[in-house]
Amino acid sequence: MSLLLATLLACSVILTKGKAGYGPGEQDWGYVDVRPGAHIFYWLYYTTANVSSYTDRPLVIWLQGGPGASSTGDGNFAELGPLDLKGNKRNWSWVKDMNVMFIDSPVGSGFSYVDNTTLYTTTNKEIALDLVEMMKGFYKIHPEFETVPLHIFSQSYGAKAAAEFGLELYYATDRGELRSNITSVELGSPWISPIDSILAWGPILQGLGFVDQEGYNEIMASANLTAQFIEEERWVLAFSQWSHTEDIVFRASHGVDFYNVLSKTSADFIDDEETPEDKLLNILMRGPVFHALGIPKNVIWGWQKDATFVKLEPEFMKPVIHIVNELLEKTPVKVSVATGNLDLICSTSGNVKWIAKLNWSGRSEYLRAARTPISVDGILEGYQKSGGNFTLFWINRSGHNIPADNPAAMSHVLRELTSFG
């Protein structure tokens, strides 16, 4: 083979574009069988940045929470994709600056599915290993991304999965099982140590005036019982008590929004009631998107798949601080946490508390580091503190959904971690 022909073939691989999907820009999507009968769905948006090749920009993975919420739906249309729920172009879409891949994980979430219910994941480790298998399949389809910097971004329970996914992906790469340029893992609004957030609910709500002393006392009694069950490793009881504590919060506050305490809510708010946004997303994903992407007819999209969630109930309340610690200590991967100051469910004070429990070789450097302001166009958007391979971002005027609540601050986070945004 001549040098010219080899060069042309290499360029054809790099410059191969995707296809028209739903919305603007080139896209690719499909399924990777991570285990026999277990099918994970991904949706890739090639960057629309003015570059000679899309491989000039990093690849970002987005993992939604739940577990059981859909990245291809929630993260895409409600937070950071090229279109919003009403079909309008989003000014702050990440696709303008980088390649973005939404993965419906764990299996059963969104458009991902299993052939029978025995194939649902039941542990965080299983979720992580499925995601590693998914990346093996993805890189076979798209080998041009093997050397492109990979950044894993996540939200809520997705962050709990992301920490272990990042760790297992690094180990698999180190063992030579695949090629991947994993560079950073961002834990957004993370459910890393649930009890640290739960124990903060009462003080936060009382301090903001959402509950009185009686409400505070009731919340804390339930939260402390949750903590007892966690201490005893009675995980199913801890899950039930967490759910009961949430009910107490809703009742005592008359419906405070767990995801952004300043959101306007009705005094008659009902937990788990489908919002207008949820309805819009269901119509969009089960109609135009379903048909545009040619999803198998047996797959029914859901914004939150209960079957996926239920299988992980025994895992839900377990802390994974040790996994974050191992990711920091055993790998060169950059690790960060982004937390919104209006988030209740995964509160900033709770995140700060579990971060203080980390004990890796960069801990002293982190503790000595100054906390500096995040300024975007002259506006104070938050704060950050870095040491070793770890950074904590405090985000102002943001609840749980940071990319949607404060896109300017999120763009700063993106630039810090990926150099683009």
Residue numbers annotated as active site: 156, 343, 400
Q: What angle (nearest 5°) sits at the alpha carbon of residue 391, between those of residues 186 and 104?
A: 5
Asked if 105 and 43 count as a contact pair (C-beta separation under 8 A), the reply is: no
What is the separation, in whole angstroms, between the first and last Cα of the chain?
41
Secondary structure (H, E, C), 7-61: HHHHHHHHHCCCEECCCCCEEEEEEEEEECCEEEEEEEECCCCCCCCHHHCCEEE
Q: Please give the Cα distance from 295 to 41 (Å, whole number).
A: 10
**If you ran DSSP here, which 8-state letter would residue 148 be given?**
S
Nearest to 308 by CA among 172, 134, 161, 152: 161
Structure tokens at 255: 């419906």
Q: Residue 26 class from Cβ within 10 Å (0-12 exposed, 13-18 middle, 19+ buried)?
A: middle
Q: CA-based Rg of the chain, rounded to a whole angstrom?
A: 21
Asked if 317 and 235 count as a contact pair (C-beta separation under 8 A), the reply is: yes
Q: Please give the Cα distance from 326 to 319 (Å, whole number).
A: 13
Alpha helices, DSSP H only, in 27-155?
124-141
| Residues 226, 227, 228, 232, Cα dihedral to 10° | 100
